[in-house]
Structure 1
Amino acid sequence: MTDNSNPVKLVVPRRHGDPRGWFTEVYSEPTFAALGVDCRFVQDNHSLSQPRFTLRGLHFQVPPRGQDKLVRCIRGRIFDVAVDVRRGSPTYGSWVGAELSAENGHQLFIPIGFAHGFVTLDEACEVTYKCSDTYAPEQDGGIRWDDPAIAIDWPIPARVTPELSAKDVVQPLFSEFDSPFVYDGRPLQPFV
């Protein structure tokens, strides 16, 4: 299903199909615990992004209200990204990304200590995600989606400016970010 040693996990649930369609189990506590995911999810979020190339991110909540997230796209396609923001990590500032779509059913688990963002690749994309803590506006944080120090290879055509929230337009640069997150001994690894 995924690499257990990687803190960020690309999860590919099995789909069981027949002439009616398919069935998949998107979350099971024992299955995820076997993958090294031992958080408890307490909030589900659902977003709709109408325009293609809507970009949401890069977001996180700081301790003591950090959030693990399990993200999936249930309509359309997105490119989902996690950036290592754990102070002392040998992969600090590195990122991984994957296409999540309603068609492929893939999910991304993003633990506390990683900034999260995504860009929609289709119109009218719907994204759902589980969080291990409720939203705490006073603990909300972010960094610039287009920071050259991070250099995320967003799949956005040249000369296209993504749709951004007012908050995401003014997020600080990575160099201005004083990380409260601590490295846990597991470096970020690329997906195989």
Structure 2
Amino acid sequence: MKFIKQKIKNLFLIKPSPFKDERGIFRRNFCSQLLKKNKLNGIIKQANISENFKKFTLRGFHYQKHPYGEDKTLCCIKGEIYNVTIDLRKNSKTYKQWKGFYLNDKNRNLVHVPKGCANAFLTLKDDTIIHYYCSQKYKPEAEKGIRYNDNEFKIKWPKKPKIISEKDMSHKDYED
């Protein structure tokens, strides 16, 4: 696995090193030792799968308030997404900046999202499946969100979302 640092501190694009032979392809999808080697949290307290039936479904932006902030490592195991991470750490040099990645079942890339950042994705194909590992269990009382089109961030989505939950659309404008 190759960890590619991004401008946002502790945000990494992770490129796997798949092994291919006549049987198919094998790849490591998570390695706590390599995360620790890159000075990242390698603890998993929860793993989630997001199955999305239709393209242009948007999920997010989601994050959890301190002390329940969570690191997430996610990949697209079927289909394709455009994944966006926003840095919400007020003491960060990249506070309020965002970074987007295309993740799909062809490039097999992963994204490691550090705690203190909000994350969202837009599906670009029908029947898209996302798998992600979290360093913290889900705590409903700590859950926070940002609307996908909040003017504070000016996210450039590759397509207009068509399906968004009422909950994700109801987030107020972001405030420091």
- Regarding TM over 0.5, the answer is yes
1:53 aligns with 2:77: no
Alignment of 1:137-156 (within 5 A): 137-156=140-159
Is 2:22 the partner of 1:19?
Answer: yes
Structure 2 stretches lacking a partner, 5+ long:
none
- Aligned residue among 135, 141, 166 for 1:132: 135
Instruction: Give 4+ residue runs of structure 1 displaced > 3 Å after superposition.
Output: 3-6
Structure with higher strand content: 2
Question: In structure 2, what is the Cα distance between the partners aligned to 1:68 and 1:61?
Answer: 10
Give the AA of the match of 2:167.
K
Q: Is the 8 A contact 2:57 2:161 kept in 1?
A: no
CA 1:54/1:151 → structure 2, altered by over 3 Å: closer, same or farther? same
Note the C-alpha offset of 1:149.
2.0
Aligned to 2:163: 163
Deviations 1:77-103 (A, max 9, x none): 001111000113221111011111111
TM-score in terms of structure 2 length = 0.93
Q: Which residue of 1 aligns with 2:11?
A: 8
Find the residue that maps to 1:97 and give its secondary structure. Answer: strand
Q: CA RMSD in A?
A: 1.4
Q: Equivalent residue of 2:33, what SS?
A: helix
Q: 1:4 to 1:121 in 2, by over 3 A?
A: closer
Whole-Å separation in 2 of the counterparts to 1:38 and 1:61? 16
Structure 2 counterpart of 1:167, which letter? Answer: K
Secondary structure of the residue aligned to 2:172 is coil
Residues 1:18 and 1:154: Cα distance change in structure 2 (over 3 Å) = same
Question: Aligned partner of 1:170: which letter?
Answer: S
The residue type equivalent to 1:173 in the other structure is D
Instruction: State the percentage of identical aligned residues.
Output: 34
C-alpha contact (below 8 Å) 1:4/1:35 kept by paired residues? no
TM-score (norm 1): 0.86
* Corresponding position: 1:73 with 2:76: yes
Distance 2:17 2:39 in 1: 18
How many residues are paired up? Answer: 173
Where do 1:172-191 residues align within 5 Å? 172-174=172-174, 176=175, 178=176
**How far apart, CA to CA, are the structure 2 residues paired with 1:162 and 1:62?**
28
Distance 2:91 2:67 in 1: 19
Q: 2:39 aligns with which of 27, 36, 39?
A: 36
Q: Which runs of 5+ in 1 are unaligned?
A: 179-192
